[in-house]
Amino acid sequence: MAVTFPADIIERAERLLSLCRAEGLRVATAESCTGGLIAACLTEIAGSSDVVDRGFVTYANDAKRDMLGVPEELLMRVGAVSEEVAQAMAEGALVRSDATLAVAVTGIAGPGGGTTTKPVGLVHHACAGPGGAVTHRRLVYEGDRGAVRLATVVTALDMLIEGAGQR
């Protein structure tokens, strides 16, 4: 059974894959709150293996540390849902893959787990590309868990498209 993503998300993914092919880029994902949905969306498209290098699902802090090299001290100091950790995840995905462009997401999809400073729907996105440039977006999405996760995929794809276009 095929996974079904909304048509607008598949169109974004196809645009990203085309742009990466034209620019000779390979992509890696580092995902926490989406649990692999970004990589799943990209690999839903036949032939994506020429662009998608790998995806890291790092839901637990230990996985962020072990698979992506996020420092334990950083996780303890700022927490997993933070700009600094999202950036470290994106940078770690580049270092631990053959990709030239990586996106990372970490957040609170809900329905529980939020606080006054880190509400449900908060997601930190980071995109790392050639030359060490890392971009970040902090967004708070409305809706249920599924809506937060799909909105996160859209933003991640948009960031990858922007990153691929800046070469």
Quote the CA–CA distance of 166 and 29 in Å, as a whole number: 18
- pLDDT for the residue numbered 93: 98
Domain 7-165: homologous superfamily in CATH: CinA-like (3.90.950.20)
Describe the chain by its helix, strand, coil percentages, rounded to 5.
Answer: 45, 20, 35
Write down the pTM of the prediction. 0.96
**54: part of which helix (H) or strand (E)?**
strand 52-57
**125: part of which helix (H) or strand (E)?**
strand 122-128
- pLDDT for the residue numbered 114: 93
- pLDDT for the residue numbered 119: 97
Quote the CA–CA distance of 19 and 14 in Å, as a whole number: 9
- pLDDT for the residue numbered 131: 78
Going from the first residue of the chain to its last (167 residues), give the mean pLDDT of each consecutive group of 10, the final group possibly shorter.
83 97 97 98 97 98 98 98 98 97 98 95 96 93 97 98 84
How would you class 162 by CB atoms within 10 Å of its CB: exposed for 0-12, middle for 13-18, buried for 19 or more? middle
- pLDDT for the residue numbered 100: 97
Angle, vertex CA 87, rays to CA 44 and CA 16, nearest 5: 30
